[in-house]
Structure 1
Amino acid sequence: MVFQLSNTVLLSLLLVLISTALLLIVQKNTTNVIPGHKITNRDPTFIIAGPSGSGKTSLFNVLTTDTVKPTVMSQTPNVAEDYMLPSTVKSFKFKLIEFPGHVKLRYRLFDTLKESTALKGLIFVVDSTIDPQKLADTAEFLYDILALTERFPEGVDIMIACNKSESFSSRPPLKIRDALEKEIGKVIERKAKSLSAVNKSGETIGESGSDDASAASLNFQGIRDFNFDALDGNVDAIEGSVLKNQIEKWECWIDERSVN
């Protein structure tokens, strides 16, 4: 009887240990998952995004081939499955994906953000020669990205890669960052008013408004003066130039995120 009881206890302990191990594995694989979305990309991944004409594809080419090539507007994402880190930890490999900036093709970026578990960082490329007063569309694009990345438990680090910094008309990174903050604040205010108007009218938010509603009620609700520092993910604005192959600061940023 004692022998049988001991076997029963041992079996119970073994089942508990197996269940605990399985739970830890599941938790490890879902720590960076947006709840409610299927998972199609579990690879450690860096993403390049931004408005059309900012230099995204050229940056992808420099990072993957170390050459600047003439480019045309991308229609499909560019993917490097085994991207080697640019400078320091050569033994690590990652997936590097560059997405088209056209409004009608941005859904591919948003789908990937929803369906990835190991996003290491997102490089948001902007043209630093643009007038800060004309960043409204760029800011709304970045807002849409933040509305997704901030749903991850610890957010996603984002670098605003201020390209074309060699130009005489380029703006300092901090000025671009500040301008984007102000414009995102306006986007939040507009969406909050729109959501409030819908709620007051008694209408049910359908499919077309579901993303705006969830984004407006996420971490942005009630924010009067939007500030990147309040986000879970870090947002850095760093100057550089793809044309002049002056991307060392961007490479260092990628390296730092790869080991975290």
Structure 2
Amino acid sequence: MFELSNAVLVSLLIILISTALFLIVHKNAANVIPGHRVLNRDPTFIIAGPSGSGKTSLFNMLTTDSFKPTVMSQVPNVAEDYMLPSNVKSFKFKLMEFPGHVKLRYRLFDTLKESTYLKGLIFVVDSTIDPQKLTETAEFFYEILMLTERFPEGVDVMIACNKSESFSSRPPLKIRDALEKEIGKIIERKAKSLSAVKKPDKNLSGHDEDESNPNSLEFQGGHDFKFDALDGNIDALDGSVLKSQIDKWECWIDERSVN
């Protein structure tokens, strides 16, 4: 009889534990639609840029107030309750930093597509790079802008020109102009490639039938492309993570947090 009672108690205990686990899983999955990703609805700042530009070090400095040597990131770094640099501590945001390696950039692109409340994007570049060698960086920046410009009012972007303490660093405006020029070339190449692949038919009114094609270029103007024509503002500011000279970048973040 005693052994039977123990068996009953064990069975009841198993049932209770199984029921509790089911309720917990069911509760956590209640807002998840099968086959769909979960949107990021938090007010978010994103740090992106090429590998080796200083993104992870900047993330560490913004979240811990200290400089730490880093290695190339393999996964995004996320601070769920990022406190603003200013004295206004009542507001919290999500701060995310993404790997810059070509094979890992899809993580950034997916997040840009799934986020609904981006406050700003910090695009970190090495200011010692020769402006003539910014082609790959410009292509990366172009892909980012193609996504941020889909937001109703665009997304403000800061080109954080890191390593400004170096004697070989370039002025922020020169780097901005070089990126602008390279993106203009990218758009021009894509426009020529698109027109070569398909020449749209003319309708009776003389207009192109392809005007509403979702694959048409987001940016117009070819070599005349200008950042000022975008919905989001594109600023370029110098700074140095190594020397803890990031005041300008922190002020930029503060300003965007209240917009």
Match of 2:198, SS state, is helix
The AA in structure 2 aligned to 1:217 is L
The structural deviation recorded for 1:226 is 1.1
Gaps of 5+ in 1: 1-36, 203-212
Gaps of 5+ in 2: 1-35, 202-212
1:56 corresponding residue in structure 2:
55
2:217 corresponding residue in structure 1:
217
Number of residue pairs aligned between Structure 1 and Structure 2:
213
1:179 corresponding residue in structure 2:
178
The AA in structure 1 aligned to 2:150 is R
Matches of 2:123 and 2:42, distance apart in 1: 20
Answer yes or no: is the 8 Å Cα contact 1:89–1:255 preserved in 2: no
Matches of 1:189 and 1:88, distance apart in 2: 45
Matches of 1:92 and 1:246, distance apart in 2: 23
Matches of 1:231 and 1:39, distance apart in 2: 28
Matches of 1:223 and 1:216, distance apart in 2: 13
Matches of 1:222 and 1:50, distance apart in 2: 25
Match of 2:224, SS state, is coil
Matches of 1:232 and 1:256, distance apart in 2: 17
Matches of 2:97 and 2:142, distance apart in 1: 18
1:150 corresponding residue in structure 2:
149
Q: Deviations over 1:7-55 (max 9, x none)?
A: xxxxxxxxxxxxxxxxxxxxxxxxxxxxxx9651000000000000000
Asked if residue 123 in structure 1 is aligned to residue 122 in structure 2, the reply is: yes
Identical amino acids, percent of aligned pairs: 84
The AA in structure 2 aligned to 1:123 is I
Q: Deviations over 1:147-166 (max 9, x none)?
A: 01111110000000000000
Residue 255 and residue 104 in structure 1: after superposition, are their counterparts in 2 closer, same or farther (change >3 A)?
Answer: same
Answer yes or no: is the 8 Å Cα contact 1:191–1:216 preserved in 2: no
Matches of 2:215 and 2:131, distance apart in 1: 24
Asked if residue 242 in structure 1 is aligned to residue 241 in structure 2, the reply is: yes
1:163 corresponding residue in structure 2:
162
The structural deviation recorded for 1:191 is 1.0
Match of 1:59, SS state, is helix
**Superposition RMSD on alpha carbons, in Å?**
1.8
Answer yes or no: is the 8 Å Cα contact 2:228–2:234 preserved in 1: yes
Residue 81 and residue 242 in structure 1: after superposition, are their counterparts in 2 closer, same or farther (change >3 A)?
Answer: same
Answer yes or no: is the 8 Å Cα contact 2:49–2:125 preserved in 1: yes
For residues 18-167 of structure 1, what are the structure 2 equivalents within 5 Å? 40-167=39-166
Answer yes or no: is the 8 Å Cα contact 1:113–1:149 preserved in 2: yes
Matches of 1:221 and 1:228, distance apart in 2: 11
Match of 1:125, SS state, is strand
Matches of 1:80 and 1:153, distance apart in 2: 26
Answer yes or no: is the 8 Å Cα contact 1:188–1:216 preserved in 2: no
The structural deviation recorded for 1:200 is 3.9
2:29 corresponding residue in structure 1:
none
The structural deviation recorded for 1:139 is 0.4
Residue 73 and residue 217 in structure 1: after superposition, are their counterparts in 2 closer, same or farther (change >3 A)?
Answer: same
Residue 215 and residue 119 in structure 1: after superposition, are their counterparts in 2 closer, same or farther (change >3 A)?
Answer: farther
The AA in structure 2 aligned to 1:191 is K
1:226 corresponding residue in structure 2:
225
Residue 185 and residue 67 in structure 1: after superposition, are their counterparts in 2 closer, same or farther (change >3 A)?
Answer: same
> Whose radius of gyration is greater, 1 or 2?
2
The AA in structure 2 aligned to 1:140 is E
Answer yes or no: is the 8 Å Cα contact 1:147–1:215 preserved in 2: no
For residues 176-215 of structure 1, what are the structure 2 equivalents within 5 Å? 176-200=175-199, 214=214
TM-score, normalisation: structure 1: 0.79
Matches of 1:140 and 1:216, distance apart in 2: 18
Match of 2:177, SS state, is helix
